[in-house]
Amino acid sequence: MDARNSTRAYGGIARLFHWTVAALILAAIALGLYAGNLPRGNEAQLQAIFAAFSWHKTVGVAALLLALLRILWTLTQRKPRPLHPGRRLELFVAEAVHWALWIGMVIMPLTGWLLHSAAPGGFSRILWPLGQRLPFVPQDAALSERIAHFHSTGWWVLAGLIVLHVAGALKHAFIDRDGTLSRMAGDPAKAPEPPASQVSTLPHLLAAIAAIVIWIGTAIIAASGAETAAPVAATAQPAAGWAVEQGALGIEVAQGGSPISGQFGSWQAAIDYDPDARGGHVAVKIDITSLSLGAVSDNAKGPDFLNATQFPTAEFKADILPPATEGGPHLARGTLSIAGKSVPAELPFSLEIAGEEAKAKGEMKIDRRDFGIGAGYADESTVGFPVTIRFDLTAKRQ
């Protein structure tokens, strides 16, 4: 078999690339779904999840590298001519799906690697001795989570495209019986000589545009999904000075390389704040049992971590200090008590007051080890050390 493509069939190298990349992509999808659906409970189960994700990532990176080589090779090759140039719509759909597959075979592993690189703290590793993180990607849990939304939405699109593509191949094999499959698999001599056809670039261009639209649509759907997963209103209680009308208090931590975030459904804040002095005092009580953290809520509240049975309440008591520079954030400086341990803590936050209404928003990073949380998880391979605590609230003057 010729290594290079001919006018009637793909050559040996194009075939090798096609089938290895196809197998790696199907394996990556299977491993991603398998890893994501393993039971989460004790340490052994979590380790099994991370091992599965390590394989997922390794297979995905291999698919990416081969897909890039494949693209370079394809650029040096002519394409076998279409077998049925007259069937314009069929040709357009096939080409649009091919273009979308080209984009998908790069964008899916790339977004996987990007979300892996942006995740702070520990992660399940790509199984190779080379680097883990991509350059120029900041470690930012929120960014990683946004990319994860795309990755989790995109695989549906890629899987749908593969189904269409395979359905097309099967139609040619069993309904048309026209030897299309022999162009990519089996004996190339069985591939019929396609009729001479005029080359016109417009349909190719339109098919490429359709493919780009498919992936931009995917990004838009993923972004809107990420927004609807945003804060839920908490049952915050009124207090002296300013009463919280609506707000969200959440945490974020890296679990096996992916950021996971959760919310406390119940907390109370007593806020005294004098807008003239730009200072005051705040006391927040958080009901630890109200934490929801995706599939690992019970683990997080269990004896290994927050130990909600023994320590049902966390507390943050702080003085509110005016901004150090004009236009800068306020600072709440005080003590944070979680799981029976109290540690000095500083929470910078932005504050906007309009009439009787105040909007405040801020976050701080703590280290779970300072509170003895997850002491049995002494490295970051399972759960990262840094935990981000984030709030966003609207309060009314009493």
Q: Contact letters (x/-) for ligand HEM, 199-238, by CB under 6 A?
A: ----------------------------------------
CB 97 within 8 A of CB 161: yes
Q: How far is the CB of 51 from ligand HEM (least distance, A)?
A: 13
> What is the rounded distance in angstroms from the CA atom of residue 290 to the CA atom of residue 277?
35
Q: How far is the CB of 296 from ligand HEM (least distance, A)?
A: 12
Q: How far is the CB of 226 from ligand HEM (least distance, A)?
A: 11
Of 306, 335, 307, which is closest to residue 319 (Cα–Cα)?
A: 335
Q: What is the dihedral of CA 82, 83, 87, 88, to 10 degrees?
A: 0
Q: How far is the CB of 300 from ligand HEM (least distance, A)?
A: 16
How many other CB atoms are found less than 10 A from the CB of residue 74? 17
CB 65 within 8 A of CB 118: no
Select from 74, 139, 268, 297 the one that contacts ligand HEM (CB under 6 A): 74
Interface with ligand HEM includes 258 (CB under 6 A)? Answer: yes
Q: How far is the CB of 148 from ligand HEM (least distance, A)?
A: 4
Interface with ligand HEM includes 257 (CB under 6 A)? Answer: yes
Identity at 67, one-letter amino acid code = A
DSSP β-bridge partners for residue 391:
249, 362
> What is the rounded distance in angstroms from the CA atom of residue 22 to the CA atom of residue 376?
41
Q: How far is the CB of 216 from ligand HEM (least distance, A)?
A: 19
**Interface with ligand HEM in residues 117-156 (CB under 6 A):** 126, 148, 151-152, 155
Closer to ligand HEM by CB, 108 or 284: give it.
108
Return all residues near 385 (Cβ < 8 A) that are at least 6 apart: 121, 122, 367, 368, 369
Instruction: Indicate the helix (H) or strand (E) that contains 342.
Output: strand 341-354
Contacting positions for ligand HEM (CB under 6 A): 18, 22, 25, 28-29, 32-33, 36, 53, 56-57, 60-61, 63, 74, 79-80, 98, 101-102, 105, 108-109, 112-113, 115-116, 126, 148, 151-152, 155, 158, 162, 165-166, 169, 180-181, 183-184, 257-258
